[in-house]
Amino acid sequence: MRQIEGFKFRRQQPIGNYIVDFVCLDNRIVIEVDGGQHAEEKNKDRERDTYLQRYGFKVLRFWNNDVLRNTEGVLEVIRDACLKNPPLNPLP
């Protein structure tokens, strides 16, 4: 599925010991959509982010409310991140 500028995203993708909400593997962008429980799990989220960053992923986190109420703004942040993180192995 190519939804933003032709970037391909996968949903509920395993990466190591974690399952991320969305990932663009080509550009190594992880998108996490957080509900209220994440306010109480900051240490777990920080540990997860550190793990993913260690393997070259940039992690973008958005609150559910932001996704629902400011969808265009969230998509713009994701688009910008993808454009600033070009694929590691571009196709010829």
In a domain, 69, yes or no: yes
DSSP-derived 3-state class of residue 9: coil
In a domain, 89, yes or no: no
In a domain, 91, yes or no: no
Dump the DSSP string for 15-79. Answer: ETTEEEEEEETTTTEEEEEE-GGGGT-HHHHHHHHHHHHHTT-EEEEEEHHHHHH-HHHHHHHHH
Closest of 13, 2, 11, 23 to residue 85, by C-alpha:
23
Please report, rounded to a whole number, the percentage of residues in the chain having pLDDT higher than 90: 64
**40 vs 46, more confident:** 46
pLDDT confidence tier of residue 24, bands split at 50, 70 and 90: very high
Range of the domain at 46: 2-84
Kindly report the CATH number assigned to the domain that includes residue 75: 3.40.960.10
In a domain, 48, yes or no: yes
Classify residue 4 by its DSSP letter: E
pLDDT confidence tier of residue 4, bands split at 50, 70 and 90: confident
Look up residue 63 and give its amino acid. Answer: W
**34 vs 78, more confident:** 78
In a domain, 42, yes or no: yes
Q: How many domains does the chain have?
A: 1
